[in-house]
Amino acid sequence: MICFVHIICETVVMAGTARQVHLGRKLRELRDSAGMSLDDVAATLERSRSTVGHWERGHSKVSAQDLSALLALYRAPDDLADQLQQLRRESGKRGWWQSYKLPTYMTPFIGFETDASEVFHFELGIVPGLLQTESYARAVHEAGRLVLTDAELQEWVDARLKRQERLEKGGGLTLHAVVAEEALSRIVGSPAVMSEQLRHLAQVSKKRSVNLQVLPFDAGAHVGAHGPITVLRFPDPGHGDVAFSDTPLGGHVIDDLRDVAELARLFSDLQAQALPAKESRSLLSSIQEAHATRSKE
């Protein structure tokens, strides 16, 4: 995924967990409310400026003692202090995805996705990961920048399929997806793989947990021309939306509220330009038939 040039991304370089990143953002909000600089806090706690900065960006885990000192310094209300201490304890818990040998930059994103109630996802060149078939996902990873062993490739594919389980009944996740027509027409793997993938899209689009729209060629120029958009929303109203940008060199969690709100607005624009669900399924069927015909040639 490519970040828009006019948006400044908050980059998570290290493999901080989603809860660790969320805790860091809350600490930054408390510090801002207290009118203190990083230097002020570092001097008071006798820690380096970079250490405090790493806590706030989720790059390193704050100790219980240091967190207590920060909360006292910021005069955080007791109920909020208890919530943040609990968040710190939970940040060390092992997530299911850590059993798979995935890129470290994916750790915070999958953690956020696991806690999210809604995903807003636009894809320009490929089918969204949460909607990919096993064969399609395998072909995507095989074409990636990294050279994977057969075992690593299978683990990456298995992890992607595992993520999709939350779209099943009772999974608690709703996906709002807009996919550009070029992603559906492009042959990934083979025409047979594409035919199977588009049949799958038509089927999953009927689920209550999936709102799928196609952005047709006829829509012309659009705000997603620079690349994909992913915004995550959470059931806890106190947990602000976050976004994610995946580039060939790594992934970036975007948690600046203004930047995330701008990405959400751009996604809404794309939804408005895309075909409604019924018309989208009709176009899917037409493209699927073309792939099926090519697979028989």
Share of the chain above pLDDT 70, in %: 93
The pLDDT value recorded for residue 17 is: 67
The pLDDT value recorded for residue 118 is: 97
- Quote the pTM value: 0.77
Domains and CATH numbers, the chain: 18-90 (1.10.260.40), 96-295 (3.30.870)
* Cβ-based neighbour number of residue 199 at 10 Å: 16
The pLDDT value recorded for residue 60 is: 81
Q: Are strands 174-180 and 210-215 parallel, antiparallel or unpaired?
A: parallel
- The residue behind tokens 């909020």 is 80
The CA-based dihedral angle spanning residues 140, 272, 241, 232, taken in that order and rounded to the nearest 10 degrees? -30
Q: Which residues of the chain have pLDDT under 70?
A: 1-18
